[in-house]
Every structure is written in structure tokens, then in C-alpha cells.
Amino acid sequence: MPYMKWKREVLGLLSRKQFIRLLKGQYILKKLLKRKEAQMSLEYEVKLCASKKTMEKIEQCNKLMNWDIKKSGEKHLVSHYYDTEDLKLLYNNLAFRLREDGNQKLLHLKANGTFKNGIYIREEHEYALKNSENYTSKGFLKKHFPIIVDAIKEDGLREIITIDNHRHILLFQKKNSVIETSLDFLYFVRGKRKIEHNEIELELKEGKEEDLIECYSLLQTQYNLKLAGASKYELGLRSFSMIPLL
């Protein structure tokens, strides 16, 4: 049966109320498709504390037990973290940043973080920023990151700290598993103060949660590393004594 004839016959079977509901549904769907919402993904990460010397040693390796290690380039990332003066986002388990990666500017909202078996699991909402957009305005936040408006109420956002990061990326691979391992040589920056910090961040790209546990456990054992136990934003705030040390 031709599509238009089928469509007429189907619509003829609908009541007036059902027909109006169908039109409303199509209208809402079109509006949602036109909106450029932040894209959400679920990330699985492990963060390990390491000295600069240890990270340089790891960077020279091409094998870790049954894992092959390949270099995957370097990046200079500058991340600006925003919050209210009394850190409402932090205390609502949220972190909001603007990340500069070359000419690209990306907004990230990290949300609903949980810590399980050494793995930090959380939602990441990403939005590619256009130069003219005022990303801290209430209008912009309501449209793209409404959870922020719910958390801060009438308060405004301001830049709290900056993280200046020289990232060296390695890929740990075996069978169907890929772990992106970032060697982060970074500084926490607040005003004119800079504090050096080094960290290894492992993110599951392909494979199972167990693969990530195995990979970070091997690194821990071989290089005597400890879990960072907090996000970079939290560690930065602690470095400047803005929140209590745990």
C-alpha cells in the first residue's frame, strides 16, 4: 500500500483527541531534535598519584605483563572550573568546567559520581561551545545544563581554579580491551599561585570494568602507586585549602 494512502487510512481511525496528541508529540519531537543539547556519556576512570620520575619511566615502557603499550600523542589542556562562592556545585556532587584544547572549547559537566572498586564512575555531559555564547548566564544554563540552575538557585557562577595540564597519552591494549592512560603533568592555578601536581588517569575505552581493575592494579603493584581518591577539581581545592583535607 502506498505510504500516503496508508497514512490517510491510519489517521482516519484516530479520534480527534488522539490526533491532536499525535500532532503535539510530533511538534515536541521536532523541537527536541533542533535543540543542541549537551551530549551525555558514562565514564569509568581511575586516578593514581605518581611522581614525575615514575610517570616518565612508565612512558618509556611498551609492555605491562599481558598489556601492549602504545604512545598516542600529547595535548596541552587548560581547564577553567566554575562554581558559586560557597561551592554549591561541589557539594551537590557536580563539577563544571570549560576546557581549551587547541582551538576547541568544550564545556563539561561531571555529575553523580560514585566510587567503586577504585573506579570513579560518573556521567559526563559535553557541549561544544561557540565563541559568542555566554556559558555562565542563567539562560544558557537552563537550556543546556538545567541541573546546575537547580543546584545554585539564584547564585551566579565564577571561576574558582584553573588546571594547566600537559597530557601525555598512552594506550594499554589486549584482545578486545583498550585503556586510555593519561600521564598528566599539571599545575593547579589560582590567581598568581601555582601548585604542581602529577597524576595518572586511566579511562576504559573498550572492554569490561574488570579490565580496568586489572590494568590499574598492575600499575599499582609494579610502581607502588596509590589511588588519588578524588577528582582533579577537589584536589585543586584542597591544595589551596579551600575545602578540608580528608
In this prediction, residues 41-54 reach a mean pLDDT of: 95
Q: How far is CA 87 from the centre of its chain?
A: 19
Banded pLDDT at 246 (limits 50, 70, 90): low
Q: Supply the mean pLDDT for the chain.
A: 87
Rounded CA-CA distance 36/231 in Å is 28
CB atoms within 10 A of CB 40: 11
Of the two residues 155 and 41, the one the predictor is more confident about is 155
Banded pLDDT at 132 (limits 50, 70, 90): confident
In this prediction, residues 218-229 reach a mean pLDDT of: 94
Q: How far is CA 74 from the centre of its chain?
A: 18
184 pLDDT higher than 90: yes
In this prediction, residues 133-160 reach a mean pLDDT of: 96
40 pLDDT higher than 80: yes
Select from 169, 158, 159, 168 the least CA-distant residue to 189.
Answer: 159
Rg (CA), the chain: 23
Q: Three-state DSSP class for 36?
A: coil
164 pLDDT higher than 80: yes
Q: What is the pLDDT of residue 6?
A: 39
Q: What is the pLDDT of residue 229?
A: 77
Fold of the 37-239 domain: Hypothetical Protein Pfu-838710-001 (2.40.320)
CB atoms within 10 A of CB 236: 25
Banded pLDDT at 17 (limits 50, 70, 90): low
Query: All 3 cell numbers of residue 161?
Result: 581554579
196 pLDDT higher than 90: yes
Q: What is the pLDDT of residue 65?
A: 94
In this prediction, residues 157-171 reach a mean pLDDT of: 98
Banded pLDDT at 106 (limits 50, 70, 90): very high
Select from 112, 94, 102, 103 the least CA-distant residue to 160.
Answer: 94
Tell me which of 60-64, 163-167, 242-246 is least confident.
242-246
140 pLDDT higher than 80: yes
34 pLDDT higher than 50: no
232 pLDDT higher than 80: yes
Question: Above pLDDT 70, what percent of the chain?
Answer: 84
Terminal Cα-to-Cα distance of the chain (whole angstroms): 69
Strand 94-101 vs strand 67-83: parallel, antiparallel, or unpaired? Answer: antiparallel
In this prediction, residues 147-160 reach a mean pLDDT of: 97
Banded pLDDT at 39 (limits 50, 70, 90): confident
